Amino acid sequence: MTITSDVHAAVAPSDRADRIGRGLAAFASLATVGAFADGIIRMTDAADDRLWVEAWRTITYAFFIGLFALLAARPRQAAGIWELALAGKTALVVFAVIVGDIPEARLAGMVDFALVVVVALAYVLTRGWLAWQPGTTDPTRGDTAVASEERTSSPAPDLRPPVAG
């Protein structure tokens, strides 16, 4: 095993932590399906002056369903995606606190807070920050296969474009 493999093996999550983290990300995706279904109902009942806002919100739910599903499938190959999802949901929680006397903001803020907690736990358990390390184009880098020494000892190929001389 090379030094590079030893470093990756030391930071890769355990199989159990990885499964739990991926399960939490998948749960976030499935939970968002409920919000998407509610959004469709709201769209059908929306007045003309609210239709665009309800459609935008509903389409955004669909976006987050896919986003969380991708994070569940490939948690260490999504540099920046975890952080964007957490930042966006955290901003909504902060805004809900600021305008907290609005009934819709209270409920949405609580739901988004729960999502922040679930997604943050998934990020920590899967060690999603490993996506930022060099070599993330190698689909096995940082995966649980590394922890169980199933990966070959050869380093990941350098896939950067050549520099013109």
Confidence of residue 154 (pLDDT cuts 50, 70, 90): very low
Over the stretch 90-133, which tens digit does the pLDDT of each residue have?
999 999 999 988 888 888 899 999 999 999 999 999 999 999 98
Is residue 61 pLDDT above 50, yes or no?
yes
d(CA 112, CA 88): 10
Q: pTM of this prediction? A: 0.73
Give me the pLDDT at residue 101, please: 85
Helix/strand/coil (H/E/C) assignment for every residue in 34-93: HHHHHHHHHHHHCCHHHHHHHHHHHHHHHHHHHHHHHHHHCCCCCCCHHHHHHHHHHHHH
The confidence score (pLDDT) of residue 68 equals 96
Residue 71: pLDDT band (50, 70, 90) is very high
Look up residue 152 and give its DSSP letter.
-
For residue 86, pLDDT over 90 is answered with yes
Distances (CA, A) of 161 to 79, 133, 139, 158, 164: 19, 18, 18, 9, 9
3-state secondary structure of 134: coil
Q: What's the whole-number mean pLDDT along residues 64-73?
A: 96
Average pLDDT, the chain: 82
**CB of 91 within 8 A of CB of 114?**
no
Using a pLDDT cut of 70, give the percent of the chain over it. 75
Both tokens assigned to 159: 């896939």
Half-sphere exposure of 60 (CA within 13 A, CB side): 9
| Whether residue 62 has pLDDT greater than 50 | yes
Separation of alpha carbons 104 and 57, rounded Å: 13
